[in-house]
Homo-oligomer: A and B are copies of this chain.
Amino acid sequence: MDDYSNDIVLTGDRPTGPLHLGHYAGSLVNRLALQGNCRRQFILLADLQALTDNVGDPGRVARNVLEVALDYLAVGLDPARSPFVLQSGVSELAELTVHYLNLVTVARLERNPTVKAEIQQRGFARDIPAGFLCYPVSQAADITAFKATLVPVGDDQLPMIEQTNEIAMRINRLGGRDILPEAKALLSTTPRLPGIDGKAKASKSLDNAISLSASADEVTRAVQMMFTDPAHLRVSDPGQTDGNVVFAYLEAFDPDRASVAELAAHYRRGGLGDSVVKKRLNDVLQALLQPIRERRERYARDPAQVRRFVSEGTMLAREAAARTLDEVRRAFGLRSHERQVDVRQRFAVTW
């Protein structure tokens, strides 16, 4: 990994369900590596963003905040170095969003390929909620609030970074100085983990993912159900490893890469049964998930502590976001909110 010791990283998840192995391979491993290798890594529990398409079921979002925080702790994310930030607790993000909305045209938002794609995928047509159209602006608020310079994303998220940097440039021009830094994307090189059923994506909603909190039995059952090569009927038959979920998972999680390559070659030649590779994968996943599960259970016994971690991370984030908001407000010719606080603790305002 490159040296990111000067970078502020922003990453996060929509708390709509517990995290699974797809998240682990796709982003959590990356966050663990960044944790000791950047100035600070803010991890956003993006509950407001999750609400944009869960208005009918807000309870689901609220419940999953604790679950996702437990997943973070379980994999080894350290709230002291990677603060966990509850998005809805940082009111400065809403203020930044409202300010930025004046700097972006509706036409520009409608051209955003990520928004376009998601509109199509969700079948919204013109009846999209305004909050959804404005979502790139809210994401720009998240990124700039913490002055993040490095944002781990998939390549489908690049337009969001571009939109963020456009807004940052507008603010810097308005303020006449470099208030907001440029954000760079850190593109993931990990291929997307397939679902155990062979579908392109492992996802909670498709019920084809292995949760980080899965029990040993659940893991074993999931491995047994995994899609392999349907034409691989007898052990002696040559088998396909492409599109074979067991091999995709071995490649993602087995630390002994050389031995996985040998196994794959053997499987393709023929003479290697599914039960053997599944046994191996089961061992690998159990070894990976057992300490995660144990840490998770330990933290789950003290939910007040987990809540405290989130509260403390959120407060730290608010301090950073409040400083940024003040600079942005001044760029718009608005007075700082800061001075209020000295006057009256609670609802003090000056102008």
Contact = CB atoms under 8 A, between A and B. Distances in A.
Contacts of A47: 334
Interface hub of A55, A131, A311, A315 (most chain B Cβ within 10 A): A131
Given A55-B103, A94-B95, A333 B62 contact: yes
Nearest to A127: B105
A120 interface: no
Indicate the member of A102, A109, A127, A341 with the most B CB atoms within 10 Å: A102
Please indicate which of the listed interface residues A94, A127, A310 has the most CB atoms of chain B within 10 Å of its own CB: A94
Interface string A65-91: 100000000000000000000101111
Say whether chain A's binding surface is mostly helix, strand, loop, or mixed. Answer: helix
A63 to B, nearest CB: 9
A105 B129 contact: yes
Contacts of A88: 329, 334-335, 351
A336 to B, nearest CB: 11
A101 B134 contact: yes
Interface residues of A, number: 67
A200 interface: no
A243 to B, nearest CB: 39
Given A315-B344, A351-B311, A58 B332 contact: yes
B348 A91 contact: no
B138 A98 contact: yes
A129 B107 contact: no
A238 to B, nearest CB: 53
A94 B138 CA distance: 12
Contact of A106 (B90, B105, B130): B130
Interface in A292-340: 307, 310-311, 314-315, 318-319, 322, 329, 331-335, 337, 340
Contact of A348 (B315, B349, B350): B315
Which residue among A47, A311, A319, A334 has the maximum number of chain B CB atoms within 10 Å of its CB? A334
B131 A133 contact: no
A347 B230 CA distance: 57
A346 interface: yes
Interface string A48-59: 100110010011
Nearest to A333: B58
A133 B128 CA distance: 14
A102 B52 contact: yes
Contacts of A322: 347
A307 to B, nearest CB: 7
A288 interface: no
A137 interface: yes
Interface string A148-163: 0000000000000000
Given A55-B332, A59-B333, A106-B133, 10 more contacts: A51-B334, A86-B349, A91-B95, A103-B131, A106-B126, A106-B129, A134-B134, A307-B350, A307-B351, A311-B349
